[in-house]
C-alpha cells in the first residue's frame, strides 16, 4: 500500500479526536502508519478501551474467597469446590443485531462462547437477555424473529443449551435493541488457560477460519450512535459459521490437553490486532508477526484489512517452542487451518510485517492501556411524565386483568425458547420459563442456577435504586430455585456517554450494582459496557443487565414456579406496599412511567431469600415464584398457566391499598410460595425467626383463578389462551 498521509479527516474517520491523536503522537514519538492508526482506532475505541467507563469500575467488588479470576481476562472464574470451577461472562451485541439481526445475534453467541472455551472450559449453558422495541413497532417482528433464529442457529449447532434469559419490549428500544449473550463453562482448576504470550521465541499460531474483509471497523461501529446511514453499514457485519466454531471448540480443548499450549486468546472485536497486543501485554512480552502467512479468504487483502478484520471463529495461540507439530496435528485432525505466523519477543513491542515489509512497529502499552480515561460530565435526566395521567377508571377488574395479562410482555415465552436447544448435554434440570434455570454439574451431585435480570423502567426512574433492584431480583430468582449466589457478570447498556444525563445514569447504576453486590457479598467477575445506544438523540432506558450464577446443593426438577397440587396453601413472604411507579401496570394504564421509587430495604430482601432457600432445602414448599413484573396478580396467573389446569382462590383483602396497588404493585423482596397445609406452622415460625412478614393469602384450586375481593373470577382455559397468544401475536 502506498504511504498515506495522515490527515485530520482520516483521523476523524477512525473515530479519534484531535486530542487523542496528539496523545498517540506523544506515546509513539512519530507519525503512525495507516495500519498503526487503524490499530489505535480500534484499541482506543469505547468498545475495547472502556475509556468512558473504566474510571468507575472501582465501585465493583471483584474479590472473594471463591474468585479465581476477576475482570480483565476473557471471562471470570469462580471455584465451586470438588476441584471444579465455573467460567462465565456476558457480552452485548446490540449494534450488529439491530443492523442485521440474524448474523448479529449469531455472532454474539459465537463470540461469548469463544471467550469461555479459550480459557479451557467447556461451555455447558447459555442465557440471553433481549430487549426489543414496542411490540407494535413495525420493525419489532422482523428483529425478534431474526435475533431468535440467529441465536438458535449458532447455539444449537454448537450443542450448548440455551437454558434461560429474558425477552422484554419497550418503546425506548425502538431504535436500539439489546442483545446480551451469556455463556458459562466448566473446567477443572488445572485445566484453565489464559491469554498470555510468554516464553521468548515461542511460536505464535493462527488457528481457525480464514480472514476475510468482514467486520472491518466493527469495534468502532459499536462505539458510535446510530443515524440514518447505519443501514448502509451492513457490509461490516460479520457472518457466523457455527460448524467451524464447534470444530474449533473441540480442537482447542483437545490441544490444551497436550500440554504444548502456553497461552490462547480468541480473536473477537478488533481481531488479530487485539489478540496480539493483549497477549503481549498480559505476558509482559512483545511479538513479531508476518501477515503474509495469515490464511485469507479474499484476494489481495492489505495489511490494514488483515489486521482489522473481524472474521469470526479464529484464535491466536502461543505454543511451547519445539512442540508446534503436536499443536498443528490436532488442528489438522479437525480440518482447521493452523499456521505459525510469528513468535514471542522481548522488549514489549509488536512488530508486524506484510511480505517482509514492516507495517506496524508499536510499543505494547500505549496501545493496550494508553487510551485516555474520561470522567465525562454527569447530569440528571428530566424525570419522565405520564402521557396519559388520567385514564378512564376501570370498573371491571376481571376483564382488565385478562387484557393486561394478554399483552406480549407476559406472553408465553415457549415460542422463543422452543427454538433453542435447551436440553443438549443432558444437564438441564429446570428448563426455561422458570425464575431461574437449574443444571446438574457433570461429575457432581450439586447443581448450578442461572438467571439474568434487569428492570429498566426502575432504572429510568432511579438508576441507582434500579441497579440495586436488578441485583436483588437476580438473587431472589436464584433463591426461588434454592440456590446460593456465587457471582455476577453484567452488561451495562446505556445511551450516549457524552450526554451528561446518560453519564449520570451510568455512574449511579454502577454504584448501585457495586453496593448491592457488596451487600450480598457477590463478586462481579466479568462484564461489558455498551454505550451509544442512541438513535437520533433518543436514549434507551439505562439497562444494566445482571447475570447471576448460583450453587444448588441438590438440583431438583420438582420445585419450580408452577402450582403443583389443588389444596396447597399460598402465601406471600415479604411486605406489600403497593408500589406502582415504574410498574408494567402503570405503563399499561398511562402509556408511560413516572414517580419515585421507595427506599430499598436490602436487609429485608436478604432475609426473604434466606427463608425461601431454607424452605426449599427442607422441602417445606411445593413451589416458589418471585413477585416482580405485574405484581401479585400476574405472579398468580403465571403459576396457574404453567400448571396442569390449576388455579387458586385468594381470600385476603387489599388492606390499606387500592385494588390496583394490591394486585399490580411491584414491591421488591417478595416471593409467592405454595405448601401443604401441614407445613404452615413451621413455615410461619421460620419466617418469624427471620422477621419476614408471612401472609397466607389463599389456596390452590382446580380450574379457575378467583380473587373475590376484587371480583376476579377467570377460567384457567381463558387465562391460558391469552397467555399462549400474547407473544405469538408479535412473532407469527
Q: Which residues contact another protein (rule: CB under 8 A)? A: 149, 152, 156-159, 241-244, 246-247, 334-335, 414, 417-426, 428-429, 440, 555-558
Residue among 155 and 406 whose Cβ is closer to another protein:
155
Calpha distance 660→671 (Å, rounded): 19
CB–CB of 219/270 below 8 Å? yes
| Least distance from another protein to the Cβ atom of residue 152, Å | 5
Write down the residue that cell numbers 437449574 correspond to.
Answer: 438
Calpha distance 276→359 (Å, rounded): 15
Query: What radius of gyration, in Å, describes the C-alpha atoms of the chain?
Result: 26
Residue among 25 and 557 whose Cβ is closer to another protein:
557
CB–CB of 165/474 below 8 Å? no
Surface-to-core class of residue 292, CB atoms within 10 Å of its CB (0-12 exposed, 13-18 middle, 19+ buried): middle
| Least distance from another protein to the Cβ atom of residue 418, Å | 5
Surface-to-core class of residue 726, CB atoms within 10 Å of its CB (0-12 exposed, 13-18 middle, 19+ buried): buried
Residue among 156 and 489 whose Cβ is closer to another protein:
156
Catalytic residue (one of 93, 131, 422, 720): 93
Helix (H) or strand (E) holding 700: strand 694-702
130 Cβ contact partners less than 8 Å away, ≥ 6 residues apart = 144, 147, 165, 166, 167, 168, 177, 178, 179, 180
Residue among 369 and 418 whose Cβ is closer to another protein:
418
Calpha distance 592→579 (Å, rounded): 15
Catalytic residue (one of 47, 168, 343, 625): 47
CA-angle at 332, arms to 209 and 321, nearest 5°: 95
| Least distance from another protein to the Cβ atom of residue 415, Å | 9
Q: What is the DSSP secondary structure assignment for residue 369, as one 8-state letter?
A: H
Residue among 330 and 468 whose Cβ is closer to another protein:
330
Surface-to-core class of residue 198, CB atoms within 10 Å of its CB (0-12 exposed, 13-18 middle, 19+ buried): middle
Residue among 323 and 446 whose Cβ is closer to another protein:
446
Residue among 48 and 441 whose Cβ is closer to another protein:
441
| Least distance from another protein to the Cβ atom of residue 125, Å | 14
Tell me whether residue 137 is one of the annotated catalytic residues.
no
Calpha distance 148→421 (Å, rounded): 12
Helix (H) or strand (E) holding 268: none
| Least distance from another protein to the Cβ atom of residue 636, Å | 25
Q: Where are the beta strands (DSSP E) in 412-542?
A: 428-430, 437-440, 447-453, 484-493, 524-530, 534-535, 538-539
Calpha distance 178→543 (Å, rounded): 9
383 Cβ contact partners less than 8 Å away, ≥ 6 residues apart = 461, 594
| Least distance from another protein to the Cβ atom of residue 646, Å | 17
- DSSP letter string, 73-142: BSSEEEEEETTEEEEEEEEE-HHHHHHSHHHHHHHHHHHHHHHHHTTTPEEEEEEEEEEES-TTSTTHHH
| Least distance from another protein to the Cβ atom of residue 330, Å | 13
Residue among 480 and 559 whose Cβ is closer to another protein:
559
| Least distance from another protein to the Cβ atom of residue 425, Å | 6
Tell me whether residue 343 is one of the annotated catalytic residues.
no
Residue among 157 and 492 whose Cβ is closer to another protein:
157
| Least distance from another protein to the Cβ atom of residue 307, Å | 28
Calpha distance 679→25 (Å, rounded): 72
| Catalytic sites, residue numbers | 47, 93
Amino acid at each position: 500500500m502506498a504511504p498515506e498521509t495522515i490527515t485530520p479527516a482520516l483521523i476523524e474517520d477512525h473515530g479519534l479526536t484531535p486530542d487523542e491523536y496528539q496523545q498517540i503522537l506523544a506515546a509513539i514519538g512519530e507519525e503512525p502508519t495507516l495500519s498503526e492508526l487503524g490499530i489505535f482506532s480500534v484499541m482506543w475505541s469505547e468498545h475495547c478501551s472502556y475509556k468512558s467507563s473504566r474510571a468507575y469500575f472501582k465501585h465493583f467488588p471483584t474479590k472473594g474467597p471463591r474468585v479465581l479470576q476477576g475482570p480483565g481476562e476473557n471471562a471470570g472464574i469462580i471455584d465451586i469446590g470438588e476441584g471444579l470451577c465455573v467460567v462465565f461472562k456476558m457480552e452485548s451485541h446490540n449494534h450488529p443485531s439491530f443492523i442485521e439481526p440474524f448474523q448479529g445475534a449469531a455472532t454474539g453467541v459465537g463470540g461469548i462462547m469463544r471467550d469461555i472455551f479459550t480459557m479451557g472450559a467447556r461451555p455447558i449453558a447459555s442465557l440471553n437477555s433481549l430487549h426489543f422495541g414496542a411490540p407494535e413497532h413495525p420493525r419489532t417482528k422482523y428483529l425478534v424473529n431474526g435475533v431468535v433464529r440467529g441465536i438458535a442457529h449458532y447455539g444449537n449447532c454448537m450443542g450448548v443449551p440455551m437454558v434461560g434469559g429474558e425477552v422484554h419490549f419497550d418503546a425506548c428500544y425502538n431504535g436500539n435493541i439489546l442483545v446480551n449473550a451469556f455463556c458459562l463453562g466448566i473446567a477443572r482448576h488445572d485445566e484453565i488457560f489464559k491469554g498470555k504470550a510468554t516464553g521468548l521465541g515461542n511460536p505464535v499460531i493462527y488457528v481457525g477460519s480464514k480472514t476475510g474483509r468482514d467486520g472491518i471497523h466493527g469495534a468502532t461501529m459499536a462505539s458510535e450512535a446510530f443515524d440514518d446511514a447505519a443501514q448502509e453499514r451492513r457490509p461490516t457485519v460479520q457472518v457466523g459459521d457455527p460448524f467451524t466454531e464447534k470444530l474449533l471448540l473441540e480442537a482447542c480443548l483437545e490441544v490444551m490437553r497436550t500440554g504444548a499450549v502456553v497461552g490462547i486468546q480468541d480473536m473477537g472485536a478488533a481481531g488479530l490486532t487485539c489478540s496480539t497486543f493483549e497477549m503481549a501485554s498480559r505476558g509482559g512480552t512483545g511479538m513479531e508477526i508476518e501477515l503474509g502467512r495469515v490464511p485469507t479468504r479474499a484476494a489481495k487483502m492489505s495489511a490494514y484489512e488483515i489486521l482489522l478484520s473481524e472474521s469470526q471463529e479464529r484464535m491466536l495461540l502461543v505454543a511451547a517452542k519445539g512442540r508446534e507439530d503436536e499443536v498443528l496435528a490436532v488442528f489438522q485432525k479437525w480440518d482447521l487451518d493452523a499456521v505459525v505466523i510469528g513468535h514471542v519477543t522481548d522488549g514489549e513491542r509488536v512488530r508486524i510485517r506484510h511480505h517482509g515489509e514492516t507495517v506496524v512497529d508499536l510499543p505494547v502499552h500505549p496501545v493496550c492501556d494508553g487510551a485516555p480515561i474520561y470522567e465525562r460530565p454527569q447530569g440528571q435526566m428530566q424525570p419522565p411524565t405520564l402521557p396519559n395521567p388520567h385514564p378512564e377508571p376501570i370498573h371491571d377488574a376481571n376483564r382488565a386483568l385478562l387484557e393486561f395479562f394478554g399483552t406480549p410482555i407476559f406472553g408465553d415465552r415457549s415460542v422463543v425458547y422452543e427454538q433453542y436447544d435447551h436440553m443438549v448435554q443432558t444437564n438441564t434440570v429446570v428448563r426455561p420459563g422458570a425464575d431461574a434455570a437449574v443444571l446438574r454439574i457433570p461429575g457432581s451431585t450439586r447443581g448450578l442456577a442461572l438467571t439474568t435480570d434487569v428492570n429498566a423502567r426502575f432504572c429510568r426512574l432511579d438508576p441507582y435504586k434500579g441497579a440495586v433492584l436488578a441485583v436483588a431480583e437476580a438473587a431472589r430468582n436464584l433463591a426461588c430455585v434454592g440456590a446460593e449466589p456465587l457471582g455476577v457478570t453484567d452488561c451495562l447498556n446505556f445511551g450516549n456517554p457524552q450526554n451528561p444525563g446518560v453519564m449520570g445514569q451510568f455512574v449511579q447504576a454502577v454504584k448501585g450494582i457495586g453496593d448491592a453486590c457488596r451487600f450480598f457479598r457477590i463478586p462481579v467477575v466479568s462484564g461489558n459496557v455498551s454505550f451509544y445506544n442512541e438513535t437520533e438523540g433518543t436514549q434507551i432506558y439505562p439497562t444494566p443487565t445482571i447475570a447471576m450464577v448460583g450453587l444448588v446443593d441438590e438440583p431438583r426438577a420438582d420445585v419450580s414456579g408452577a402450582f403443583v397440587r389443588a389444596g396447597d396453601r399460598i402465601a406471600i413472604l415479604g411486605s406489600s406496599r403497593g408500589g406502582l411507579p415504574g410498574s408494567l401496570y402503570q405503563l399499561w394504564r398511562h402509556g408511560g412511567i413516572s414517580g419515585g421509587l421507595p427506599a430499598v430495604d436490602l436487609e429485608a430482601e436478604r432475609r426473604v431469600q434466606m427463608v425461601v432457600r431454607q424452605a426449599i432445602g427442607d422441602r417445606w414448599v411445593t413451589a416458589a415464584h418471585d413477585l416482580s413484573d405485574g405484581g401479585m396478580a400476574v405472579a398468580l396467573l403465571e403459576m396457574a398457566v404453567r400448571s396442569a389446569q390449576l388455579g387458586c382462590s385468594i381470600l385476603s383483602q387489599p388492606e390499606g391499598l387500592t385494588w390496583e396497588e394490591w394486585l399490580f404493585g411491584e414491591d421488591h423482596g417478595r416471593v409467592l410460595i405454595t405448601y401443604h397445609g401441614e407445613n404452615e406452622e413451621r413455615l410461619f415460625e421460620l419466617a418469624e425467626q427471620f422477621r419476614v412478614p408471612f401472609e397466607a393469602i389463599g389456596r390452590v384450586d382446580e380450574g379457575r383463578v378467583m380473587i373475590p375481593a376484587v371480583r376476579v373470577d377467570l377460567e384457567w382455559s381463558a387465562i391460558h389462551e391469552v397467555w399462549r397468544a400474547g407473544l405469538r401475536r408479535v412473532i407469527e
